[in-house]
Amino acid sequence: MRSWIAAGWVAILGAGGCTGGERDDAENHPPTLPQRQVEEPPRRDPPAPPMTAADSAEVRIQLAAGGDSLKAAFEQVPALRAREVGELRRDRNAEQIAIARRLGFRVSGDAEIERLRQQGRLVAVGDSTPYWVLREMDHSVPYVTPDTRAMLVHLGRRFQARLDSLGLPRYRMKVTSALRTDETQRDLRKINSYASQTVSAHEFGTTIDVSHERFAVPAEPRSSGPAPGARQMEVAMLEEAGKEHAKVLQAELGRTILEMRQQGALRVMMENKQPVYHMTVARRFTAAE
């Protein structure tokens, strides 16, 4: 079920579309002009008029109705059960390191990261995609093996498919940690007593951490109407709902991870002191996937 479960939510998400995006390619790379022909500046749409009091009131009414429907949808989903939490905590560090050594390669520093990136053996995680956003990283760099990124894409797609089936918005994951070098791992140990005191699976480009307490709003929230500011109001409502019902999102992401674990795609440790799902890719992913 990909539609929202209540008419109020449909009213909000059914109007408008995502704003922004890249400029037209012809505008970025204008054709060569004959001599003495003057290039006209690109046309700009006139600025939209500010939201009126009536517009604001209408949007707030729609958001209130949608918020009630959204709350009802969230309340139908159970939190993680003890058995599920146990399954999410089975893959210890030693097991993940063994897989990381087999599928990745230990990275020594920035020069090697750049060399591997140019060879295509490391790829950028991506700051913002339809499935995740990248949080600021102090002790890792946003690069992983191609298999790891493919695993993350699969996870995001399946997570959002579960949300669709429950009539929930397509919230996104927050990636908090990726590739570490010897140096960044040592720095992390100085401030985090829970960081691995030996080698970490993060040092092989095969492992990422994803928050299980915080989630990002959908990449393309649909505006509640044409009035300026409607989208910002909707985003604020979705952010608040995501915080209030984080346990539901945690549970559905966890269940998606368990499905992929059972299929041999990844290994996971649901950490407690650090509120993340610590995941290592467990197989190769083909280009067709």
Q: Kindly report the CATH number assigned to the domain that includes residue 161.
A: 3.30.1380
Q: What is the pLDDT of residue 64?
A: 66
pTM > 0.85: no
Q: What is the pLDDT of residue 157?
A: 98
Q: What is the pLDDT of residue 136?
A: 87
Q: In what order do the strands lie in the sheet with 266-270?
A: 132-134, 173-177, 207-211, 276-281, 266-270
Q: How many domains does the chain have?
A: 1
- The burial of 34, by beta-carbon neighbours within 10 Å (0-12 exposed, 13-18 middle, 19 or more buried), is given as exposed
Residue 104 lies in a domain: yes
Residue 229 lies in a domain: yes
> Which domain covers residue 103, as residue numbers?
82-281
Q: Do residues 122 and 116 touch, judged by C-beta distance below 8 A?
A: yes
Residue 20 lies in a domain: no
Residue numbers of the chain with a pLDDT score lower than 70: 1-51, 54-66, 182-198, 221-228
Residue 50 lies in a domain: no
Residue 126 lies in a domain: yes
